[in-house]
Amino acid sequence: MAYIDVHSHILPGVDDGARSINESLQLISKLKKQGVTRILATPHFYASVCSLEDTVKKAQESYADLKMFLTNADPQIKIGYEVHYFKNISKIDDIEKLTIDGTRFLLLELAHMPSLEPAAEDIISLVLDRHITPILAHIERFALLPGFDRITETIKDGFSIGQINASAFSLNRKSKKIALGLIKEGYGQIIASDTHSVNSRPPEFDNAFKIIGKKLGEDTVKKIMAENNILSEKIFKR
């Protein structure tokens, strides 16, 4: 099975992820050892901090530098962006430039807001008006915010895909409980690394799937793997 990591910060010197090409290569090696064969490099995009054009240019240049050190034995890599939610995101002209390698998928990070209801409306608009399906980054971080039930409705109704960080299962008891609950309810379909650093935020797939299997059963692990494989094929086999 071609397991895809849909959320990572492996590009060197772009954001708060890998600081150097050497660290990028170490992260890629760790992902490979944990069964990852395809990686989405998803640097942050904050519309209030950097322009879309500058973000894309920086990411492309960083990947070009990294690519010189990769071999055919390394996982396949495509570029996307972890787009921080802002109001009316579904209406910006060039949002296609932020999608995952020109596909109809967008990694979207929710914002800490008084209510997540506006974000839910934008998610639906992204699908209906722009034909773009959001993959919602580390939804376990937003599960206690007002309006999160509207976010889970978008997942249930097929307007979005819920992504949970592998590190959520080892962060603390609260995070682990929330993550397991979301998976059990069907809202956490994809597990991703969100890896940033070799030392402080390494990939933790092995531990995550061990805990999921123990608490929710191996059938749940198989289901997540199957969902991951379907998404992987849609992104890489175009």
Read off the tokens for 101. 């390698």
pLDDT of residue 57: 95
pLDDT of residue 238: 61
Structural domains of the chain sorted by starting position, each given as residue range(s) with its CATH number in brackets:
3-236 (3.20.20.140)
d(CA 235, CA 161): 14
Q: How many CB atoms lie within 10 A of CB 224?
A: 22
User: Residue 73, class by beta-carbon neighbours within 10 Å (0-12 exposed, 13-18 middle, 19+ buried)?
Assistant: exposed
Q: Apex CA 50: angle with CA 49 and CA 52, to 5°?
A: 135
Dihedral (CA of 97, 198, 1, 127) sign: negative
- 3 state DSSP class of 79: strand
pLDDT of residue 200: 87
Q: How many CB atoms lie within 10 A of CB 6?
A: 26
pLDDT of residue 237: 77
Dihedral (CA of 184, 189, 194, 195) sign: positive
* Side-chain-facing half-sphere of 33: CA atoms under 13 Å: 10
Which helix H or strand E contains 3, and what residues bound it? Answer: strand 3-8
* Of the candidates 40, 42, 39, 100, the residue with the CA atom closest to the CA atom of residue 75: 39
Residue 141 DSSP label: G
The residues of the chain scoring below 50 in pLDDT are: none
pTM score, two decimals?
Answer: 0.96
